[in-house]
Structures are given as C-alpha cells and as structure tokens.
Amino acid sequence: MDNGQPAIELKHVSKSFGERKVLDDVSLQIEKGKAFCLLGRSGTGKSVTLKIMIGLIRPDRGRIVIQGNEIQSLDPAKLADVRKQIGFLFQKAALFDSISVAENVAFPLRRHTKKSEQEIQAIVHQKLKEVELENEGNKMPAELSGGMSKRAGLARALAFDPSILLIDEPTSGLDHITAGEIYELLLQLKKNRKVTMVVVTHDVGGARKFSDEFAVLDKGKIAGLGTAEELAQSQNSLVRDLAAGSQT
C-alpha cells in the first residue's frame, strides 16, 4: 500500500455552484503523515475542497486520488472502504443529536465492525479519554459546549484510527484557551500516530503549531503554497496578509 504515493491528490479539480466558480483547476498533493493547512478568506471553497476529498461533493472536473484510489470511479462499497480510512471533523461537529456522545463515538464501530459490546465500550472510553471527555459520554450533544462538541466530533472521527483526518475549522467560535487545547490535541495526534491531516482554518498562528505546509485558496485557485515562512515572503499581498495574521 505504501509505495511512496501521496495520501491525497487533487488533479485539476474544478467545481461551480450555479454561476459561481468555487474551485478552478486546483491541483494539490499531500504527503503521508504530513499536516496540511488550507487557508483563505471566507467563501473561497476551503470546506468544499475538504468535502470533495471525501466524495461528499462531486467535482465538475478533475480527479481525486486517496491513497491510490481514484474515488470518483469507485463503487459505493469501495468508496465506503476508503471513507473508513478517513476521519472527518465537521465545522460544527455534526454529532448525531438523538444519541449520546458515547453512542456517537460507538456508532461507526457498531456499523462496520463485529467487535463485542465490551470491546466497543473500551474503544469509546479510550477515544473520549484522548479528547478529555471520558466523563461526558452519557451527555447528549445539545448539552456540550462548543469546544466539547468539537472534541467529541474528533473522538468520533478517530474511532476507526483513520490514516487521514480532514478537519474543518477546528477552532472557529472558540476562545483562545479552548482553541489552544484543540491544537495541542492535533499536535499530539500528529506526533503519536502518523496521521495525514488536512485542516481548514483562519487561525494560522494556531495552525503553525502542527502544520507542515500551507496552501492559500483565492478566487478558486491556489494563490500560495509552502511553509508559513514562505507564505510570509509571497509576492501576493493576500497570501502575505493571511500569513501575517499568524503574527497577531
């Protein structure tokens, strides 16, 4: 499986919604085990790019290759197999609100494994402990704060020990301290497992703690690509401004 191919590859991907072109011939390569950060102003297609990566949105043109699998050509069963290797943390966590936090984490395990109830409970406890929510498992999602919801969503995304983690705005709407805790969690994930991460964020400062590479999306195209320092030297003022945002 590991033959040097990138974990995620976007090749000439374009996507429009009506008249509005969100992505225009975007190509990206994200190496295994790297943390990649997508930056850009609001509405520039960052979340759309994440959803395209996991096949939730179909591009109008282009190819998406995840660990060697071109996902548009996969049948539903094989696409499901690819998705099992990907954890997705949604912007507002998207926890299933009719079941408890622990049941949310257990949900993919119950659906896709033949593990015993005891094993599932052990995994759920371990995942909740990783995100410091081991005492909140019986709560309903509506009872959680914003930061706790994000961490619970992360626990669910980690239930399968995915090799790829797609994270949409992990710290939006959170205070600096809670945001710092989330970044610390992501840093630990990167250090302790070799998870490939793609993170959409506006907070370059926080993202610097764990990101290896940054890309700036603007007007449907990649306006800048490189490390935070490289972006700060860019000729493009928007790219520089976004990188400068890291200093504040």
Partner 1 sequence: MARKSLGSHVTGFFRTSGEVGIFGFRAARSTFRPPFEFKEIVRQIFEVGWRSGPLVIVSGFAFGVVLALETRASMVSFGAEAMIPQAVSFGLFEDMGPLLTALLVAGRVGAGIGAELAGMRVTEQIDALEALAVDSFKYLVVTRVIACVIAIPVLTLLLDFSGILGGMAADLFALHMSVRLFLNDAFGPMGWSDYVPPTLKTVVFGFIIGTISCYLGYNATQGAAGVGRASTRSVVLSSLMVILAEVILVKSIQFWFPG
The residues of the shown chain that bind partner 1, judged by CB under 8 A, are 51, 54-56, 76, 79-81, 83-84, 86, 88, 90-92, 94-97, 107-108, 111-112, 156
The token pair that represents 21 in the structure block: 């072109």
Cβ atoms of residues 38 and 50 within 8 Å: yes
Element at 5 (helix H, strand E): none
- 3-state SS class at 213: strand
Element at 193 (helix H, strand E): none
Q: Least Å distance between CB 79 and partner 1? A: 8
Q: Least Å distance between CB 171 and partner 1? A: 17
Q: Which is nearer to partner 1, 81 or 132 (CB)?
A: 81
Q: Least Å distance between CB 176 and partner 1? A: 25
* Side chain identity, residue 127: K
Q: Least Å distance between CB 96 and partner 1? A: 6
Q: How far apart are CA 31 and CA 196, in angstroms?
A: 7
The token pair that represents 20 in the structure block: 């509005």
Tokens 């983690």 — which residue?
Answer: 165
Q: Least Å distance between CB 90 and partner 1? A: 5
Backbone φ/ψ region at 81: left (φ over 0), alpha (ψ -120 to 50), beta: alpha
The token pair that represents 177 in the structure block: 């301290």
Q: Which is nearer to partner 1, 91 or 236 (CB)?
A: 91
Strands 213-218 and 221-226, sheet pairing? antiparallel
The conformation of residue 218, written as its DSSP 8-state character, comes to E
Q: Least Å distance between CB 224 and partner 1? A: 28
Q: Which is nearer to partner 1, 75 or 135 (CB)?
A: 75
Q: How far apart are CA 81 and CA 94, in angstroms?
A: 21
